[in-house]
C-alpha cells in the first residue's frame, strides 16, 4: 500500500475508527491520518473539568458488534470523558485498528489531480488515494474569540476543546469562564468547587435540564444488554437516533395541573429525555412556550438571588432551538459565595488585560486562569481547514463562500470521490452521533464497494445538491430551530461565517430512508464516471 491506499480516512474518533474497520472488512486497502497522538477524537481533546456525555452510556456506543455491546461495562448513566476514551481505546485494540493509522499527522492540503487525491500533511509527507473520507468531526475546530489583548494576559488561558492532558490546577485561583453552552454548563460547577473565585461571563442565558447522573447498577446494565435488539430498532426509527419514543400526549389540551405534573416527572427523570416528553416542542410555539416557562420557573426557584436568577433566565430563544445542555447542579452553583455572574450582553467584553477581563463599562475582573468555553467552528469548520481543492483546482473555501452545500451531507459537487461523514446537511449534531456515524460509514462503504467493482468515480450532481440544499432549508423552516439567532447550528457563533442552517432537521429515520433510496436506485444524485474518461 505504501503511501497510496485505495481509501484515506482523516480522523480517529468514532467515525474514523469504524471506517477503517468497515473498509478493511470489505478487503479495501485503507489508512487513517490523525492529528492527535492517539485515538478518541472529541474524547481525546475535551478533557476539561466535568467533561461528560449527554447521551446515555448504553446507547452512546457502537452497535456494529454484538460481542462489543455485551462485553463492555459502562459504570454510569452518562459516561465521563475518561471512560469514553477508554472505550474507544478498547475498540482500537479489540479490532486492531491502530496499525492502520498515522498519528500526530495533521492534513494541511488535499487536491484532486484528475485521477487521485493528493494529500499533504504538516510533517511534509505526501499521500495519494482514490477515495478520500473525512471523519474530522463536527465539533473539532476550537473557536477562540478574537478579543484584543489576549496575548498580554499574565495568567494562563485554555480552550476547553484543547484542554491540557496534565490538567489545570485551579485550587484557590481566580478563574473566569467565558461561555455558557453545554461545555461551560458542565465545567462551571466543577471549577467552582475548587477555584478561589469563579467569574462566569455569560452572553446568552441558556436552558438546561438536570442530568441526574448516577452509577449504572448491574441489573440496569444487564437489562440494556438483554434488550439491545429492541433498543437499536427504536434508535433506527427515531428522529434523533436516541432510544426514546416521543410522547404522544397533547400538552396544550391538558389541564394546567396535569401539564405541570408531566413536566415535573420529565424534570425528575432528567436528561435529553425531557425534550422527548413534550410532543411538538420544536414545532409548536405554544407548546414550546410552556416548556420554556416551566424551565424558567425552575431557575427562579433554584437561584436564591433574584437578580442573578433574572440574568440566568433564557429569553432570546425557545427551549431546545439551541442544543439543550444537561447539567449537574449548574443553577445551584450561583448560590455559592465564590461565584459571580457577569452579563456580557449588557456590558460586553472590551479587552483582556494582563490582570484579567475589562468590560465596555470599564469594570475589571482580575483573573489567574481564563477558560474559553466558546465552542467550535462547527460542521464546516474542520472541513474548510483541510485545504481541499477539487476539480479544476477549485478550493472548498470558494465553493462554500456563501455557505456549506452538500448532497445528503455525504459529498460535494465538484469534489470527486470525496465523502464526508456527518457533513453539513446531514442530521449529525441533531442526533445521537454514534448512530448517525455508523449509518454514514455503512453507506459510504457500500458506495465505495460499488464504485470499486465497476471502476467508477463519483461526485454529486449540482442539481441533486441544489435540491438537497432546498430540502435542508425547508426541514429547518418547518421547526422553531432557526429562531435561535445566536446558534452555532446557523454558524452565528463565528464572526463572518455565512448564516446557513447547517444540520438536516428532517429527522434521522427519514434521512436514513432517503439515503437507502439513493443507493437502491443506483446513486442517481451522483455523476458516476468511468475511470478512463475521468483521467483522460
Ligand atoms: P471527532 O471525535 O471530533 O474526531 C475527529 C478527529 O479528526 C479528531 O481526532 C481530530 O483531531 C481529527 N482531525 C480533524 N482535522 C484533522 C486534520 N486536518 N488532520 C488530521 N486529523 C484531523 N454527541 C452525542 O451524540 N452525544 C453527546 O453526549 C455528545 N457529547 C459531546 C461532548 C463534547 C464536549 C463535544 C465536544 C461533543 C460531543 N458530542 C456528543 C459530539 C461528538 O463530537 C460526537 O459524538 C463524536 O464523538 C464525533 O466523532 P467523530 O469521529 O465524527 O469526530
Ligand atoms: P457553544 O454551545 O457554542 O457555547 C459557546 C458559549 O460561548 C456560548 O454561551 C456563547 O455565547 C459563548 N461565546 C462564544 N463567543 C463568545 C464571545 N466572543 N464573547 C462571549 N461569549 C461568547 O459551545 P460548547 O458549549 O462548547 O458546545 C458546543 C456543542 O458541543 C454543544 O452544543 C454540543 O453539541 C457539544 N457538547 C456536548 C456536550 C455533552 O453532550 N455533554 C458537552 C459539551 C459540548 P452565545 O450563545 O451568545 O453565542
Mean pLDDT of the chain: 97
Indicate yes or no: pTM above 0.95: yes
Mutate which of 84, 145, 183, 348 for ligand 2? The one with the most ligand atoms within 8 Å of its CB, which is 183
Give domain status of residue 152, yes or no.
yes
Same domain, 34 and 126: yes
Q: Identify which of 136, 187, 208, 409 to mutate to test ligand 1's pocket (most ligand atoms within 8 A of the CB).
A: 136
- Shared domain check, 526 and 415: yes
- Does the CB atom of residue 180 touch ligand 2 within 6 A? yes
Q: Is residue 220 part of a domain?
A: no
* Residue 110 to residue 272: CA distance in whole angstroms: 38
Cell numbers at residue 315, please?
Answer: 429569553
Q: Which ligand is nearest to the CA of 423?
A: 1
230 part of a folded domain? no
What is the reported pLDDT for 425? 98
104 in ligand 2 pocket by Cβ < 6 Å?
Answer: no
Are 520 and 513 in contact by the 8 Å Cβ rule? The answer is no
CA distance 140 to 49: 18
Question: Is residue 74 in a domain?
Answer: yes
97-150 pLDDT, tens digit per residue, is 999 999 999 999 999 999 999 999 999 999 999 999 999 999 999 999 999 999
Residue indicated by cell numbers 500500500: 1
Number of separate domains in the chain: 3
Same-domain pairing of 388 and 433: yes
- Classify residue 212: in a domain, yes or no: no
Q: Are residues 396 and 517 in the same domain?
A: yes
Residues 525, 475 share a domain: yes
Statement to judge: residues 354 and 302 lie in one domain? no
Instruction: Tell me, using a 6 A CB cutoff, whether residue 324 lines ligand 2.
Output: no
Is 136 found in the same domain as 16?
A: yes
Q: Which of 122, 113, 112, 160 is nearest to 140 (CA)?
A: 160
227 domain-assigned: no
Q: Which atom of ligand 2 is nearest to the CA of 180?
A: 9
Instruction: Print the SS3 string covering 93-107.
Output: HHCCCHHHEECCCCE
Owning domain of residue 252: 246-320
Ligand at shortest distance from the CA of 186: 2
> Is the CB–ligand 1 distance for residue 14 below 6 Å?
yes
Q: CATH number of the domain at 455, please.
A: 3.50.50.60
**Is the domain of 54 the same as that of 157?**
no
3-state DSSP call for residue 117? strand
Grid coordinates standing for 318? Answer: 425557545
In the listed set 375, 390, 416, which residue is the last one of a domain according to the structure? 375
**Shared-domain flag, residues 478 and 434:** yes
For the beta carbon of residue 394, count every other beta carbon within 10 angstroms: 14
Alpha helices in 26-60 (DSSP H): 42-45
CA 94, CA 61: separation in Å to the nearest integer?
14
Ligand nearest to the CA of 107: 1
Three-state SS at 509: helix
Among residues 342, 358, 375, which one ends one of the domains? 375
CA-to-CA distance for 535 and 345, rounded, in angstroms? 55
pLDDT, position 2 = 81
Cβ–Cβ under 8 Å, residues 66 and 204: no
For the Cβ of 183 lying below 6 angstroms from any atom of ligand 2, the answer is yes
Q: Is the separation of the CB atoms in 399 and 414 below 8 Å?
A: yes
Pocket test for ligand 2, best of 493, 495, 503 (most atoms within 8 A of CB): 493
Closest ligand to C-alpha of residue 373 is 2
CB-ligand 1 contact for 291 (6 Å cutoff): no
**Contact assessment for residue 423 and residue 504, using Cβ atoms and an 8 Å cutoff:** no
Assess whether the C-beta atom of 181 lies below 6 angstroms from ligand 1: no
Q: What phi and psi values does residue 174 have, to the nearest 5 degrees?
A: -90, 110
Residue 313 to residue 495: CA distance in whole angstroms: 25
Choose among 366, 362, 383, 369: nearest CA to 138: 383
Q: What is the pLDDT along the chain (536 residues), one digit of tens a residue?
A: 789 999 999 999 999 999 999 999 999 999 999 999 999 999 999 999 999 999 999 999 999 999 999 999 999 999 999 999 999 999 999 999 999 999 999 999 999 999 999 999 999 999 999 999 999 999 999 999 999 999 999 999 999 999 999 999 999 999 999 999 999 999 999 999 999 999 999 999 999 999 999 999 999 999 999 999 999 999 999 999 999 988 988 999 999 999 999 999 999 999 999 999 999 999 999 999 999 999 999 999 999 999 999 999 999 999 999 999 999 999 999 999 999 999 999 999 999 999 999 999 999 999 999 999 999 999 999 999 999 999 999 999 999 999 999 999 999 999 999 999 999 999 999 999 999 999 999 999 999 999 999 999 999 999 999 999 999 999 999 999 999 999 999 999 999 999 999 999 999 999 999 999 999 999 999 999 998 644 44
- Give per-residue pLDDT as tens, 379-413: 999 999 999 999 999 999 999 999 999 999 999 99
pLDDT at 25: 98
Question: Are residues 270 and 411 located together in one domain of the fold?
Answer: no
Q: Which atom of ligand 1 is nearest to the CA of 421?
A: 52
Q: Torsions phi, psi of 329, nearest 5?
A: 60, 40
Which is it for strands 126-129 and 131-134: parallel, antiparallel or unpaired?
unpaired
Q: Are residues 159 and 128 in the same domain?
A: no
The DSSP secondary-structure symbol of 335 reads G
> Ligand 2 centroid to 199 CA: how many Å?
17
Strand 388-389 and strand 126-129: pairing? unpaired
Q: Is residue 241 part of a domain?
A: no
Instruction: Kindly give, in sequence order, each residue whose CB lies less than 8 Å from that of residue 454, ignoring residues fewer than 6 positions away.
Output: 528
Residue 297 within any structural domain of the chain: yes
Note whether 362 and 388 are same-domain residues: no
Amino acid at each position: 500500500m505504501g503511501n497510496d491506499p485505495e481509501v484515506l480516512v482523516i480522523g480517529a474518533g468514532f467515525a474514523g475508527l469504524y471506517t477503517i474497520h468497515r473498509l478493511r472488512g470489505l478487503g479495501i486497502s485503507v489508512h487513517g491520518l490523525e492529528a492527535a497522538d492517539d485515538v478518541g477524537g472529541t474524547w481525546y481533546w475535551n478533557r476539561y473539568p466535568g467533561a461528560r456525555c449527554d447521551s446515555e452510556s448504553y446507547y452512546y456506543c457502537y452497535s456494529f458488534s454484538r460481542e462489543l455491546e455485551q462485553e463492555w461495562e459502562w459504570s454510569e448513566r452518562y459516561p465521563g470523558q475518561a471512560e469514553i476514551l477508554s472505550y474507544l481505546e478498547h475498540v482500537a485494540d479489540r479490532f486492531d485498528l491502530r496499525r492502520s493509522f498515522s498519528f500526530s499527522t495533521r492534513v494541511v492540503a488535499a487536491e484532486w489531480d484528475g485521477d487521485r487525491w493528493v494529500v499533504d500533511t504538516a510533517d511534509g509527507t505526501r499521500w495519494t488515494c482514490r477515495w478520500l473520507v473525512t471523519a474530522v468531526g463536527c465539533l473539532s475546530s476550537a473557536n477562540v474569540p478574537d478579543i484584543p489583548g489576549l496575548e498580554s494576559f499574565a495568567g494562563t488561558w485554555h480552550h476547553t476543546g484543547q484542554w491540557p492532558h496534565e490538567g489545570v490546577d485551579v485550587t484557590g485561583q481566580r478563574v473566569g469562564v467565558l461561555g455558557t453552552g453545554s461545555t461551560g454548563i458542565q465545567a462551571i460547577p466543577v471549577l467552582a468547587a475548587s477555584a478561589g473565585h469563579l467569574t462566569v461571563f455569560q452572553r446568552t442565558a441558556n436552558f438546561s435540564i438536570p442530568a441526574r447522573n448516577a452509577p449504572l447498577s448491574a441489573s440496569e446494565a444487564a437489562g440494556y444488554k438483554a434488550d439491545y435488539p429492541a433498543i437499536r430498532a427504536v434508535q433506527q426509527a427515531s428522529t434523533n437516533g436516541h432510544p426514546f419514543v416521543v410522547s404522544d400526549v397533547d400538552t396544550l389540551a391538558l389541564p394546567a395541573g396535569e401539564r405541570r405534573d408531566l413536566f415535573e416527572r420529565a424534570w425528575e427523570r432528567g436528561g435529553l429525555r425531557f425534550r422527548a416528553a413534550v410532543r411538538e416542542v420544536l414545532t409548536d410555539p405554544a407548546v414550546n412556550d410552556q416548556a420554556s416557562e416551566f424551565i424558567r420557573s425552575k431557575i427562579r426557584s433554584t437561584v436564591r438571588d433574584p437578580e442573578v436568577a433574572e440574568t440566568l433566565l433564557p429569553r432570546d430563544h425557545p427551549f431546545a432551538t439551541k442544543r439543550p445542555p444537561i447539567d449537574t447542579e449548574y443553577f445551584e452553583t450561583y448560590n455559592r459565595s465564590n461565584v459571580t455572574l457577569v452579563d456580557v450582553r449588557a456590558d460586553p467584553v472590551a479587552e483582556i488585560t494582563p490582570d484579567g477581563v475589562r468590560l465596555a463599562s470599564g469594570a475589571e475582573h482580575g483573573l489567574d486562569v481564563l477558560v474559553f468555553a466558546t465552542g467550535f467552528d462547527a460542521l464546516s469548520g474542520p472541513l474548510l481547514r483541510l485545504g481541499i481543492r477539487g476539480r479544476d483546482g477549485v478550493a472548498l473555501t470558494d465553493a462554500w463562500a456563501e455557505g456549506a452545500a452538500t448532497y445528503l451531507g455525504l459529498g460535494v459537487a465538484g469534489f470527486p470521490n470525496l465523502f464526508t461523514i456527518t457533513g453539513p446537511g446531514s442530521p449529525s449534531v441533531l442526533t445521537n452521533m454514534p448512530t448517525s456515524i455508523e449509518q454514514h460509514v455503512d453507506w459510504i462503504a457500500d458506495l465505495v464497494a460499488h464504485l470499486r467493482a465497476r471502476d467508477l468515480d463519483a461526485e454529486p450532481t449540482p442539481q441533486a445538491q441544489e435540491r438537497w440544499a432546498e430540502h435542508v432549508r425547508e426541514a429547518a423552516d418547518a421547526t422553531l430551530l432557526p429562531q435561535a439567532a445566536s446558534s452555532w447550528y446557523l454558524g452565528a457563533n463565528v464572526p463572518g461565517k455565512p448564516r446557513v442552517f447547517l444540520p438536516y432537521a428532517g429527522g434521522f429515520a427519514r434521512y436514513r430512508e432517503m439515503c437507502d433510496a439513493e443507493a437502491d436506485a443506483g446513486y442517481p444524485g451522483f455523476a458516476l464516471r468511468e475511470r478512463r474518461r475521468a483521467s483522460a
